[in-house]
Amino acid sequence: MIEVNRKGEVWVFAEQEAGHLSEVPLELLSKGRELADQLGVPLAAVLVGSKVRPLCATLAQHGADLIYLAEDGVLTHYQTASYTRVVCDLITAYKPQICLFGATAIGRDLAPTVASAMKCGLTADCTDLQIGDHTDPQTKEHIAKLLLQIRPAFGGNIIATIVNPHRWPQMATVREGVMRMTVAEAGRTGKTIKFPVNLAGLDLPTEVVESQRRAKKVNLKGARIIVAGGAGVGSRDAFRLIWDLANILGGAVGGSRAAVDLGYVDHDHQVGQTGTTVRPALYICCGVSGAVQHRAGMQESAKILAINIDKDAPIFGVAHYGIVGDLNEVIPRMIKSIRSGASLSDAVTGASKA
């Protein structure tokens, strides 16, 4: 734990692998910029790895005023002990007030380990972060400008706002795609501060001999059109309909968690709270009930078309267009119309009237 430091910076852990930044730190820098400006403090990126200095320019262009660079050959591969030690040493030395991590495989491992070592709090999977005041309901103590860590709780039934007034730094993880990434500002520069790395013994308990990474099979975040299927599709074979509609529209295939759990589609395709957060131009969901955890990942799509047999399905509450009907009849009619040259809107109108 560090003392409460109101002049402390806002930090973003700049996760990288093999010299490639993931998108989530750039998204977090966009949000971090807002938070730092409200607090009137610098925004810093924490870059740990080996031969990663070239990434400093990208981090500065995405809003970092400072980049703390911890470079060493032993940091080539992420390892819990070594990365935790470096991040904790940095926190102890510079006393930031806020530390943000991506809720990636690495972030979900590193952030709680750092929080535990620093004896401070951590809110996982935040869906929003704001700066705001807090009055303790019991002591009536009023504390200004805390990090409000906002996330669904109790199975998504309430939205909780969590504050950490006394045990700093205030730490949170955010899933990829939740925060919007602003456009890089060409020519923007930041100051790089080299941080010495002195790791030995228990900081390096394992040697990584080889690492292999499986690329994601689908880029849901980049898709302009997503056709998603849920448990209502009925089987992996029937899911072919979802693929066919996506293919004819040049879109990507998404799925609800139920569809993934039932084996209709692979986990890479899952949309929602524990899947990918998407904002395509068009999201077509078929046989998806619209549980809050699914909606959390798709409700900011520009246009949503829902196809569901149940007119009371919650998905219709967020859909711009809805077809109440059996997807096994509606989707083939849509595909047939599009194949015969109809526009998507005519195909939807035709399919809903039939």
Q: Work out how close the CB of 302 gets to ligand FAD at its nearest, in angstroms, rounded to a whole number.
A: 20
Tell me if 306 contacts ligand FAD by CB under 6 A: no
Phi first, then psi, for residue 23 (nearest 5°) are: -75, -30
Query: How many C-beta atoms surround the C-beta of residue 213 within 10 A?
Result: 7
Question: Is there a contact between 117 and 84 (Cβ–Cβ < 8 Å)?
Answer: yes
Burial state string for 4-28 with b = 16 or more CB within 10 A and e = fewer than 16? beeebbbbbbbbbbeeebbebbbbb
Selected binder of ligand FAD within 291, 304, 319, 338 (CB under 6 A): 291
Nearer to ligand FAD, 2 or 334 (CB): 334
* Single-letter amino acid code for the residue at 158: I
Tell me if 287 contacts ligand FAD by CB under 6 A: yes
Q: Are strands 282-286 and 321-324 parallel, antiparallel or unpaired?
A: unpaired
Nearer to ligand FAD, 93 or 153 (CB): 153
| 156-215 positions binding ligand FAD, by CB under 6 A | none
Question: Is there a contact between 13 and 87 (Cβ–Cβ < 8 Å)?
Answer: yes
Q: From 82-90, 167-175, 211-219, 320-328, give the range in contact with ligand FAD by CB under 6 A.
A: 320-328
Tell me if 273 contacts ligand FAD by CB under 6 A: yes
Q: Using CA of residue 116, residue 150, residue 182, residue 296, what is the dihedral sign?
A: positive
Tell me if 270 contacts ligand FAD by CB under 6 A: yes
- At 161, which helix (H) or strand (E)? strand 158-162
Phi first, then psi, for residue 14 (nearest 5°) are: -85, 80
Cα distances (Å, whole numbers) of residue 210 to 77, 129, 274: 9, 37, 29
53: nearest Cα among 168, 265, 195, 179: 195
Tell me if 289 contacts ligand FAD by CB under 6 A: yes
Tell me if 299 contacts ligand FAD by CB under 6 A: no
Selected binder of ligand FAD within 19, 155, 205, 263 (CB under 6 A): 155
Q: Which residue has the tokens 């924490």?
A: 46
Q: What is residue 204's DSSP assignment?
A: -
Question: Is there a contact between 345 and 353 (Cβ–Cβ < 8 Å)?
Answer: no
DSSP 3-state of 335: helix
Tell me if 352 contacts ligand FAD by CB under 6 A: no
Nearer to ligand FAD, 136 or 310 (CB): 310
Tell me if 297 contacts ligand FAD by CB under 6 A: yes
Q: Work out how close the CB of 324 gets to ligand FAD at its nearest, in angstroms, rounded to a whole number.
A: 9
Tell me if 294 contacts ligand FAD by CB under 6 A: yes
Nearer to ligand FAD, 107 or 232 (CB): 232
Tell me if 288 contacts ligand FAD by CB under 6 A: yes
Q: From 48-56, 133-141, 239-247, 253-261, give the range in contact with ligand FAD by CB under 6 A.
A: 253-261
Q: From 15-23, 54-62, 171-179, 227-235, give the range in contact with ligand FAD by CB under 6 A.
A: 227-235
Q: Work out how close the CB of 193 gets to ligand FAD at its nearest, in angstroms, rounded to a whole number.
A: 38
Q: Which residues bind ligand FAD (CB under 6 A)?
A: 155, 230-232, 256-259, 270, 272-275, 287-289, 291, 293-294, 297, 307-310, 313, 326-328
